[in-house]
A = this chain, B = another copy of it.
């Protein structure tokens, strides 16, 4: 099998942990059970118990929490190569909801599948935990962004991080990336109003840094955007093999 025949998750993990044929086979087996979900309708909802995890090979999903007053906070986005709900698969009740942004067909992974795979291949477990730690580092950055960054730096940081994440699975570069998010998604992610999101995007465009239009984020001045955001990609740990 060439690496192009592997799923985005397999390609991502293989970049960091040299997986044996046996480990690759266990990982590919986790992809077997496909499920279909329609855009805009929760695939897992807050408070649901005994939920599975999902491996996303195409499409976008967001995870979010609703407040009692109906306001929504988006926690993070899942893109191809991401394990969705891995973080909370061990907690018996999902602490947040997952909503597909486009129609998706992820692979469903039950807790028992995961524990079995981990028992068979501890190196694969390490690789998956690496990916989970990286996802959590992004949630922490998001927290810091909302707590301490100005709206323009917050937006810049978010777009740069998404670009880096997508670049790892061949879906983005320093030129830009395709992006199905609306300004409402951005608002619920960054803790801003939709009006404020609009104003910030216009400022970034007028300063020649980045344009987000017609489903495409285009970086005009990548270095300038990095400087504005204070973006240090070290936390993404994308610089080479972890286990050889």
Q: Which residues of A contact B (CB under 8 A)?
A: 47, 65, 67-68, 71-73, 75, 87-93, 95-96, 115, 118-119, 122, 125-126, 129-130, 133-134, 136-137, 139-144, 146-149, 190-191, 230, 234-235, 237, 239, 242
Contact = CB atoms under 8 A, between A and B. Distances in A.
A71 B234 contact: no
Contact of A90 (B88, B89, B130, B143): B130
10 contacts: A65-B140, A73-B143, A75-B144, A90-B242, A91-B137, A95-B234, A95-B235, A115-B126, A125-B125, A147-B190
A133 B230 contact: no
Contacts of A95: 137, 140-141, 234-235
A235 B71 CA distance: 18
Contacts of A143: 73, 75, 139, 142-143, 146
Contacts of A72: 148
Contact of A144 (B67, B118, B234): B67
Specify how many copies of this chain sit in the oligomer.
Answer: 2
B139 A139 contact: yes
B234 A130 contact: no
Contacts of A73: 143-144, 147-148
A68 B232 CA distance: 10
Nearest to A234: B93
A108 B226 CA distance: 35
- 6 nearest A-B pairs in the assembled complex, by CB-CB distance: A147-B191, A95-B235, A73-B144, A73-B147, A90-B130, A68-B230
Nearest to A130: B90
